[in-house]
A and B are shown apart, each in its own frame.
Chain A
Amino acid sequence: MITILFYSAAIIALFCTIMVITRTHAVHALLYLIVAQLAVALIFFLLGAPFAAALEILVYAGAIMVMFVFVIMMLNLGRTTIERERLWLPNSVWLIPTVLCGTLLLELLFALENNTALTAHWVSPKEVGITLFGPYLLAVELASMLLLAGLVGAYHLARPYLEKPDRGENESPQGIALSAPDPIGTSSAENNQHPPQLSPSTTRRQ
């Protein structure tokens, strides 16, 4: 039962990841990426890491991807972007990545051939915490410093927008996340005087 679930989740994850790379429409690619992450979360769960599975959904699929979708919706990408993507990705570009991926796949199959154990050991959230704040404390501290640097950087980037009187004119993702008084409603209303160009109807006419 677990084996069937594992392989179906793996197939979904692989298929969706391939779709993410090959789609020219940004929102479609993101939707595939979300599905791929859900499949990966299921794999984590089946392998005995429920905490990692929950964080995969909560942080990646639930928060970061929402941010991506949000930003891409605001960027108003149009049909020209899709055309440009297509020009950037002619068929010949795929040659080397395909060879590399094929090699990896072969290595993976070889590794699976030698080691067939699927579920090793059920790791509870408590064990994860004890390990993180025990032997790996330094890594946690370094990661938190990196995040702090990112936060300060984002704040610095958003500052000019905070101080300008006409802050609604300049829209930036950092400005929204941190400069709370920026009225998203009004500023995006200005952006959308023309209908959203990242629209399904334009893609269907491809």
Chain B
Amino acid sequence: MFDVILTLFGIIFTILTLMVLAAMLIWGERRLLGIWQDRLGPNRVGPFGILQTAADMIKIFFKEDWIPPFAEKAVFFFAPCVVVITMLMAFAVVPFSPSLGIIDLNIGILFFLAMSALAGYSTILAGWSSNNKYALLGGMRSAAQMISYDVFMGLSLMGVVMLSGSFNLREIVEAQRDVWYIIPQFVGFCIFMVAGIAESHRLPFDLPEAEHEIIAGFHTEYSGMKFGLFFVGEYLGVILISALTVVLFLGGWLGPVLPPFIWFCLKTLLVILFIILLRAALPRPRFDQLMAFGWKYMLPLALINLVLTGAIGLALG
């Protein structure tokens, strides 16, 4: 009984922390982008503009929550929930430190991949149920992107699974005591980062909502808190990808002197900053370039990486 209460407490605490973190990240990203683009960014509300997100939240709660009369109501309502639910579910398998973490699942990686695959329905269904041609275009782009980038996201992780001999994220971290997997699996790391950014629809890959051609893509018809959920979902995706990168390639909580949880947070923060920097630095490709890049370069590269890892593993016994 005590265990159940403790787990429940852990779940609620994790969800609250993640939500606050995702909201803070919105401010952090705007501020950093401002600095990198030689301007100030939001700096009015509170010290350094840190309360900007709170102000935005208040605004978003008081906005009219409008459902277009031509939309499919049930699916329209459900679509933004899907991304937040699946992203939060995926955090269940992330080991934050040797003792912290919600569930120790022996199919941890597969669970994460399954949840990130299901998250794609959010954008697809949003695009379809809005019954708006720009939204539908965004939804279809999102579907094509999800299918393509899901494939080698899974393949890029199989190298790590081969080296550690487990799908369990906790065991994968433990297996990195000698050397972090970013060194033997550098190609896998690069492919995973690319696929992860594409899965969370971050800037170089945010074609489903490309505002210069299809208004706002899949969330064209969304307003108020429903739009807010998409926004939070995107940032939860960024945190999730960063946390998974840390667990799989950067040694998770391992590190000298500092406590494990601090190491985990520091590394995750570093990866998040890197993803934000990518947004500031890279332009958006055309959609056909995006698909060609996925199928013609990333997929063969992931397969070659897999074959080489297997061959070397066999040769070394």
Contacts and interface: CB of A to CB of B under 8 A. Distances in A.
B22 interface: no
A180 B295 CA distance: 7
A195 B72 contact: no
A24 interface: no
Interface in A163-205: 176-178, 180-185, 188-189, 192, 195-196, 198-201, 203
Given A125-B167, A196-B133, A201-B70, A184 B295 contact: no
Contacts of A73: 124, 128, 136, 139-140, 143
B288 A61 contact: no
A54 B287 contact: no
Given A54-B114, A185-B207, 4 more contacts: A184-B288, A188-B137, A195-B133, A200-B129
Nearest to B154: A58
A176 B146 CA distance: 13
B273 interface: no
Contact of B144 (A27, A34, A58, A70): A70
B107 A54 contact: yes
A12 interface: no
Given A62-B118, A180-B288, A201-B131, A124 B147 contact: no
Interface of A: 27, 31, 34, 50-51, 53-55, 57-58, 61-63, 66-67, 69-70, 73-74, 124-126, 176-178, 180-185, 188-189, 192, 195-196, 198-201, 203
B147 A63 contact: yes
Given A125-B106, A184-B140, A58 B114 contact: yes
Nearest to B207: A185
B150 A63 contact: yes
B294 interface: yes
Interface of A is mostly: helix
A125 B151 CA distance: 19
Contacts of B214: 185
Contacts of A55: 110
Contacts, number: 126
Nearest to B299: A180
B252 interface: no
Nearest to B114: A57
B120 A62 contact: yes
23 contacts: A54-B113, A57-B117, A61-B114, A61-B117, A61-B118, A62-B118, A66-B117, A67-B143, A73-B136, A73-B140, A73-B143, A125-B106, A125-B110, A184-B140, A184-B291, A185-B137, A185-B213, A188-B136, A189-B137, A196-B128, A199-B72, A200-B131, A201-B131
A203 B125 CA distance: 16
B167 A66 contact: no
Most chain-A CB neighbours within 10 Å: which of B71, B133, B146, B214?
Answer: B133
Interface residues of B, number: 47
B141 interface: yes
Contacts of A58: 110, 113-114, 117, 154
Contacts of B118: 57, 61-62
Given A61-B118, A66-B121, A183 B287 contact: yes
Contact of B288 (A69, A181, A189, A195): A181
A200 B106 contact: no
Contacts of A185: 137, 141, 207, 213-214, 286-288
A199 B291 CA distance: 27
Given A62-B120, A180-B288, A69 B136 contact: no
B140 A200 contact: no
A58 B109 CA distance: 11
Contacts of A188: 136-137, 140
B286 A66 contact: no
A25 to B, nearest CB: 10
B183 interface: no
B105 to A, nearest CB: 7
B55 to A, nearest CB: 35
B187 to A, nearest CB: 21
- Closest 7 interchain pairs by CB? A62-B117, A200-B72, A54-B110, A57-B114, A183-B288, A70-B143, A180-B292
